[in-house]
Chain A
Amino acid sequence: DVKVTQSSRYLVKRTGEKVFLECVQDMDHENMFWYRQDPGLGLRLIYFSYDVKMKEKGDIPEGYSVSREKKERFSLILESASTNQTSMYLCASSSSRRQGLSNYGYTFGSGTRLTVV
């Protein structure tokens, strides 16, 4: 079964810590995305990547960075965690190929609920 795996379901970190959220996909997808989800605000795009070592800012990149050294792995980094980064973080991937079942739709991971105290 194809999937996107996020390394942690729940995470508690202290203010000022450097936090790494890991995401791995096994579908050979070119595109990977990081979103945060907050009540009433829906999904907001933080960063995305359409190729290895490529990254682009989304709508809310401040306070975050990303790394994509291998095609299957996309990491989100909180350089210095703050309480306003407490949120649900969702990773997703998609294919750029027109053929296949995806037709550009996303496959999501299960999410990481991060609490910064």
Chain B
Amino acid sequence: AQSVAQPEDQVNVAEGNPLTVKCTYSVSGNPYLFWYVQYPNRGLQFLLKYITGDNLVKGSYGFEAEFNKSQTSFHLKKPSALVSDSALYFCAVRGVILTGGGNKLTFGTGTQLKVEL
């Protein structure tokens, strides 16, 4: 079975400071990894993904994520946070090898990011 852990319910950071939102995963074989962002009363929006290749993945709005196979982590980062980055962030994983219909992603429980002036 595949699983995702987001150990922090909330992350607080001052505007202009770097931010990190943590994610660890468990899956059989190589993973496909995703980050999504959700603004209030909206659906989830795709931020970035790791499929293969470079361990540092760049995505939308200046976000990036680092894939670390030995630590089974995929932490989301941004060098300089903005107040407008305040939102709920979800990490998701699925295995490369299809185990059944549906291509199901498994999501973490989400991390609320709050960026303050």
Which A residues contact B (CB, under 8 angstroms)? 4, 6, 9, 31, 33, 40-43, 45, 48-51, 54, 56, 88, 90, 92, 94, 96, 103-111, 113
Interface centre among B9, B92, B101 (most CB of A within 10 A): B101
Provide the main secondary structure of the chain B interface: loop
Given A48-B102, A48-B104, A56-B101, A40-B109 contact (CB < 8 Å)? yes
Q: A103 to B92: give the CA distance in the assembly, Å.
A: 13
Please report whether the interface of chain A is mostly helix, strand, loop or mixed according to DSSP.
strand
B41 to chain A, nearest CB (A): 7
Docked-complex contact B43 and A90, CB < 8 angstroms: yes
A42 and B104: CB pair below 8 A?
Answer: no
Task: For A31, list chain B residues within 8 Å (CB).
Answer: 101-103
Known: A104-B105, A111-B42. 19 other contacts (CB 8 A): A4-B43, A31-B103, A42-B90, A42-B108, A45-B104, A49-B102, A56-B101, A88-B41, A92-B44, A94-B105, A96-B103, A103-B51, A104-B103, A105-B34, A105-B49, A106-B105, A108-B36, A110-B43, A113-B41
8 A Cβ contacts from B86-117 to A: 90, 92, 94, 101-105, 107-110
Hey, which chain B residues are within 8 Å of A96, CB to CB? 103
Give the residue of A33, A43, A50, A104 whose beta carbon is less than 8 angstroms from that of B94. Answer: A104
Q: How far is the CB of B115 from chain A (nearest CB, A)?
A: 20
Knowing A43-B107, A104-B32, the reply to whether A54 touches B101 (Cβ < 8 A) is yes
B46 engages A105 (CB within 8 Å): yes
